[in-house]
Amino acid sequence: MKRMILATATLLLALFGSAALAAGGNQQGAKQFGDYVIHFNAVNTDFLTPQVARSYGIRRSKNRILLTVSVLRGKLGVAGEPVEANVEAWVTNLNQQTKNVKMKEVKDGGAIYYIGTFSATNEETFDIHVKAQPKGSDKAFEVSFRRKFYTN
């Protein structure tokens, strides 16, 4: 149990922590939609430790990008309540090539988040699109952000 908690804490740090963000030049984001906040981030999977990557079935590589999404009921900047959601994601590069990103739900204790991976080449820029519909809500919310990835 302690190992799983440590793995989860390490994964969340790798996904949302400042060291990974500074090293990759990536920025995490969050957006308020009524009573919900959607948190999103994308990082190279080689930022994950081998143990964390194995425990979540993620292949570590400079060319693999990990997209993370969480949906919380609450207000931006205040700890909220995690909620289940139907999450879809897709990415489009600057050549207008689109890839769907298969998202997987991860529940660990009280946390609920969604992860998916896609490939990138060095200095490839993607428009990343996320559509999330919280369970019990009749509305789906969409966020899009642009990110350039470095794989060398």
What is the per-residue pLDDT across 95-118, written as a single tens digit (0 to 9) for each?
999 999 999 999 988 899 999 999
144 three-class SS:
strand
Is 60 exceeded by the pLDDT of residue 8? Answer: no
Least confident among 20-29, 50-59, 71-80, 109-118: 20-29
Give the span between the Cα atoms of 65 and 139, in whole angstroms. Answer: 28
Q: Residue 103's pLDDT is what?
A: 98
Give the span between the Cα atoms of 3 and 70, in whole angstroms. Answer: 22
DSSP one-letter string for 31-70: EEETTEEEEEEEEEGGGS-HHHHHHTT----TTEEEEEEE
What integer is the mean pLDDT of 45-63?
Answer: 93
CATH code for the structural domain at 2-149: 2.60.40.3340
Residue 18 tokens read as 């400042």
What integer is the mean pLDDT of 144-152?
Answer: 94
Is 50 exceeded by the pLDDT of residue 148? Answer: yes
H/E segment holding residue 4:
helix 2-16
